[in-house]
Amino acid sequence: MANGDAAQAVGFTPVPSTKDKRLGYDDINRAADFTAAHMTSGGHDFSRITGQAATSQIANGAITTAKHADASVTTPKLAPGAVTKPKLSPGSVDGDIVATTVSKSGPLNIQGSPLRLRTPDTDHAVAVATTGVGIVSSVEVGLEVGSAAAVTLTPGEVTVEATTVTVGGSVVEVSAVEGDLTLSADKTSGEAAVNIEAKSKVRMETESGNEFAVGPVGGNHRVYSEGIRRITTGASANVRIDDTNGVLVRSTSSRRYKDDIADAPPAPAVLDIRPRTWVDKGAPPDAPRYFGAIAEELHDLGLAHLVAYDDEGRPEAIAYDRVAIALIPVVRDAVDRLAVLEQRLEALSTKGA
């Protein structure tokens, strides 16, 4: 490269070689090349040539708090990449606002343990720590997707602006129409369900006080409803809990639900059932005594059709509503025998007369 080429590359006008050497054109061009080299490489005092500090001009730890007044170090003063972490004196930038806007075309990493973003009054803050992520606001927290708020949290209230929620790959539809709230699971799956779980109690209650709950009552876990308790009827009972799986079912007697109907064999052993009274286990001392029979005793009498068994085949309960049915053949036989005896007695009375 001839003397003067570097100078010309950065905008200087070199002295042509046609000039008299005594004018020192070659020395002038070399001086211009030197200046141009320093303008492009930064190998000299930045304030005299470019006005920008390059990395090589800044000693490690040289940038301390005392070295820069407010707003004295601006972007035009620094060459790209000039201020690296080793250039900053420890503690020199702490607690002050460095810039009102931080922007970067690529990924921007901000690290801290924990990392906190908050307003001066601390009423609003975002904290990232190893224990989790926290968002705190004394007024409102909003999560937005697109141009509308997706989730809004205010004191005592959570608003979700969505009609579908995907949880674990399953879609749950949420809708509210005229005060009614509807939750429905993915209808494309035959096994889809909406499950509500809690450690102690699950309660559903209306404003008027009607309640349906699953949870502990008197030390035992039960399903109860104050509204159902208040509504009474004179009709026969038709609800049963399956002893093998706890499923609540409706008990029916119509032939529409039955196949292979046949007469039941007589069960004279029903007369051997022993009426009993007892107190439930775990009941308080003043608990009432109950009247009935013992399921195991009916099983031992061969009256299995009057006994309900659990999933291990153990006698669990008595089908009390069937006991009266089992008595019908026995009573009928007794009535028939009584009729025969009455006829004989009448015949004897007539003969004696």
Residue 278 CB contacts under 8 Å (≥ 6 apart), including other chains: 289, 290, 292
Q: 44 vs 165, which has greater pLDDT?
A: 165
Query: CA geometry: angle at 206 spanning 201 and 207, to 5°?
Result: 125
Alpha-carbon span 340 to 353, nearest angstrom: 20
Residue 203 has pLDDT above 70, yes or no: yes
pLDDT of residue 248: 83
Residue 38 has pLDDT above 70, yes or no: no
Residues above pLDDT 90, as percent of the chain:
25
Beta-carbon contacts of 260 under 8 Å, excluding residues fewer than 6 positions away, are: none
Evaluate the omega torsion of the peptide bond into residue 114 and state whether it is cis, within 30 degrees of 0: yes
* Third-level CATH fold of 254-352: Arc Repressor Mutant, subunit A (1.10.10)
Please determine, for residue 233, whether its predicted confidence score (pLDDT) is greater than 80: yes
Q: What is the pLDDT of residues 247-270, one digit of tens each?
A: 888 888 899 999 999 999 999 999
Q: What does the pLDDT average to over 167-192?
A: 69
pLDDT value at 168 more than 50: yes
Q: What span, in angstroms and rounded, lies between the C-alpha atoms of 185 and 170?
A: 8
Q: What's the pLDDT score for residue 31?
A: 67
Residue 47, pLDDT > 60, answer: no
Name the more confident of 157 and 76. Answer: 157
Give yes or no for a contact between 155 and 165, defined as CB atoms under 8 angstroms apart. no
- Please, which pLDDT band fits residue 85 given cuts at 50, 70 and 90? low
Lowest mean per-residue pLDDT among 125-139, 155-169, 281-295: 155-169
Q: How far apart are CA 53 and CA 45, in angstroms?
A: 9
Higher pLDDT, 9 or 158: 158
Q: Please give the pLDDT value at position 49.
A: 46
Confidence of residue 21 (pLDDT cuts 50, 70, 90): low
Under 8 Å between Cβ of 292 and 272: no
Q: Is the pLDDT of residue 23 over 60?
A: no
Q: Are strands 164-167 and 157-160 parallel, antiparallel or unpaired?
A: unpaired
The pLDDT tens digits of the residues spanning 114-130 come to 888 888 777 888 888 88
pLDDT-wise least confident of 51-55, 120-124, 246-250, 280-284: 51-55
pLDDT tier at 135, thresholds 50, 70, 90: confident
Q: How confident is the model at residue 337, as a pLDDT? A: 95
Strands annotated E in the chain? 115-118, 124-129, 132-137, 141-145, 148-154, 157-160, 164-167, 170-177, 180-184, 202-205, 211-217, 220-225, 239-241, 248-250, 276-278, 290-292, 307-309, 315-318
In the chain, domain spans:
1-42, 254-352
| Residue 309 β-bridge partners | 315
Percent of residues, the chain, with pLDDT higher than 70: 63
- Please compute the mean of the pLDDT values over residues 226-236 and round it to a whole number: 82
- Predicted model pTM: 0.46
SS3 label, residue 300: helix
For residue 271, give the nearest of 338, 323, 313, 332 by alpha carbon.
Answer: 323
Backbone angles phi, psi at 343, to 5 degrees: -65, -40
Lowest mean pLDDT among 24-28, 36-40, 304-308: 36-40
